[in-house]
């Protein structure tokens, strides 16, 4: 009986260590793969600049067409910093506005089996802290 307890203890220790190492590796990999909001903003700015150039637009002509000042466009392409409203105006001119409207679209419900579940499904109105 003592032998069985020792085996169970070793078994539990082994799997605790195994899963904690595996979890730490996954967390490390996730942190390597994820990019910061700053990097995402810089990427968006680079993509916007490339799109502007495919339309053969200068920063001045994009400014005139979008209603966003030349300085804001210049700063955006250099640093990635811009207000949401200005970014949407630029996206409209560069024909990319549809991508923004789908940005926070709700996920489709998981496979619901009955009509009652669909009717009784509650949608959240506020977040919790």
Question: What are the tens digits of pLDDT across the range 20-32?
Answer: 555 555 555 555 6
DSSP string, 4-60: HHHHHHHHHHHHHHHHHHHHHHHHHHHHHH---HHHHHHHHHHHHHHHHHHTT--HH
**Domains in the chain: boundaries:** 1-34, 37-100
Cα(114)–Cα(118) distance, integer angstroms:
7
Alpha carbon 104 to chain centroid, angstroms: 9
Q: What is the pTM of this model?
A: 0.60
Q: What is the mean pLDDT of residues 85-105?
A: 90
- Does 71 or 7 have the greater pLDDT score? 71
Rg of the chain, C-alpha, whole Å? 25
Q: What is the structure's pLDDT at 45?
A: 95
pLDDT digits (tens, 9 = 90+) for 39-79: 889 999 999 999 999 999 999 999 999 999 999 999 999 99
In words, the CATH class of domain 37-100 is mainly alpha
């Amino acid at each position: 009986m003592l032998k069985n307890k020792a085996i169970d203890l070793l078994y539990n220790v082994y799997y605790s260590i195994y899963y904690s190492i595996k979890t730490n590796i996954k967390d490390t990999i996730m942190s390597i793969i994820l990019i910061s909001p700053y990097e995402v903003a810089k990427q968006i700015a680079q993509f916007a600049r490339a799109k502007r150039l495919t339309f053969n637009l200068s920063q001045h002509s994009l400014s005139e067409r979008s209603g966003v000042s030349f300085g804001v466009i210049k700063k955006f392409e250099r640093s990635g910093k811009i207000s949401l409203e200005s970014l949407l105006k630029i996206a409209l001119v560069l024909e990319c506005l549809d991508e923004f409207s789908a940005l926070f679209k709700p996920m489709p419900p998981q496979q619901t089996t009955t009509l009652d579940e669909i009717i009784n499904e509650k949608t959240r109105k506020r977040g919790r802290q």
